[in-house]
Amino acid sequence: MLAIIGGSGLGKLATIEAPHRRVVRTPYGEPSGALTFGRLCGRDVVFLPRHGHGHTIAPHEVNYRANIWALREEKVTAIISVASVGGIRADLAPGVLAVPHQIIDYTHGRRGTFFEGPDQPVTHVDFTEPYCPQLRASLLAAAAAAGEAMVADGVYAVTQGPRLETAAEIDRLERDGADMVGMTGMPEAALARELGLSYAALAVVANFAAGRGNSAHAIDLHVIGGVLSVAMQRVQHILDRCVECHGS
């Protein structure tokens, strides 16, 4: 079954049919909220809002381990993570959608592995390609089928938040090779890999990153909600097509 984790601007799936919620408990504590099970274009899916049903859980407070564990417990095999980002690269303007292909992790203090504790053997997972190539291809094919433009690559820098970055921090991320910046891509992607789940991200550019484009002197937080709500309608169309392409 396919799971969709919704980020800022995607607190629920408008097109999900016969939805029913269920609370799932995990050894790692509470997930961000009850899972919503239902059907999208005739296929079983499950939806989880990363920041909670009332959008109250900040990026550094998300219980990423509980979220990924709960999805795996419910027989999820693939996860599409929808995440809003700031655009660093010039073509990643507000409203643009992208499927990143790489991650740089700048977060700290987050519980980022299932492989710890006295009873667990030391375990390393390969993370050379952090996203599932097949699921990325499905997202790109779905965007084409939906007639929506989608940037086919990008390096996603994950910052700690919840504050936005300084312009100098964005300069540094750019020197490091980052194209976009968000706060939730890690450890989510690594935890999915540890449990053997396919995982890809659909990044929605909410704003130019600090010091870039129309954020040269400040990020106008008042316009972000509007940008995201328009973009998420396009995301919904792409998700519908993606569920069809990917199967369940």
Residues near ligand HPA, by CB under 6 A: 84-86, 159, 164-165, 181-183, 206-207, 209
- Are the C-beta atoms of 45 and 10 separated by less than 8 Å? no
Shortest distance in whole angstroms from residue 118 CB to ligand HPA: 36
In the bound state with ligand HPA, the residue whose beta carbon lies nearer, of 70 and 181, is: 181
Dmax (CA) for the chain in angstroms is 51
In the bound state with ligand HPA, the residue whose beta carbon lies nearer, of 24 and 200, is: 200
CA distances from 243 to 90, 239, 247 (A): 30, 6, 6
Shortest distance in whole angstroms from residue 130 CB to ligand HPA: 18
In the bound state with ligand HPA, the residue whose beta carbon lies nearer, of 165 and 194, is: 165
Closest CA to 48 of 79, 89, 77, 93: 79
Question: Where would I find the H helices in the chain?
Answer: 64-73, 133-146, 167-176, 188-194, 224-246
In the bound state with ligand HPA, the residue whose beta carbon lies nearer, of 78 and 206, is: 206
Q: Are strands 180-182 and 155-158 parallel, antiparallel or unpaired?
A: parallel
Which residue carries 């449990």 as its tokens? 195
Shortest distance in whole angstroms from residue 55 CB to ligand HPA: 13
In the bound state with ligand HPA, the residue whose beta carbon lies nearer, of 86 and 112, is: 86
Shortest distance in whole angstroms from residue 38 CB to ligand HPA: 27
Select the residue whose beta carbon is closest to ligand HPA and give its number: 86
Closest CA to 4 of 156, 135, 96, 159: 135
Shortest distance in whole angstroms from residue 165 CB to ligand HPA: 6
What backbone torsions phi and psi does residue 78 show, to the nearest 5 degrees? -145, 145
Shortest distance in whole angstroms from residue 186 CB to ligand HPA: 12
In the bound state with ligand HPA, the residue whose beta carbon lies nearer, of 49 and 182, is: 182
Shortest distance in whole angstroms from residue 170 CB to ligand HPA: 8
Closest CA to 153 of 104, 101, 203, 189: 101
> What is the DSSP secondary-structure string of 85-105?
EEE-STT--TT-EE---EEEE
In the bound state with ligand HPA, the residue whose beta carbon lies nearer, of 71 and 180, is: 180
SS3 percent helix, strand, coil of the chain, rounded to 5, is 30, 25, 45
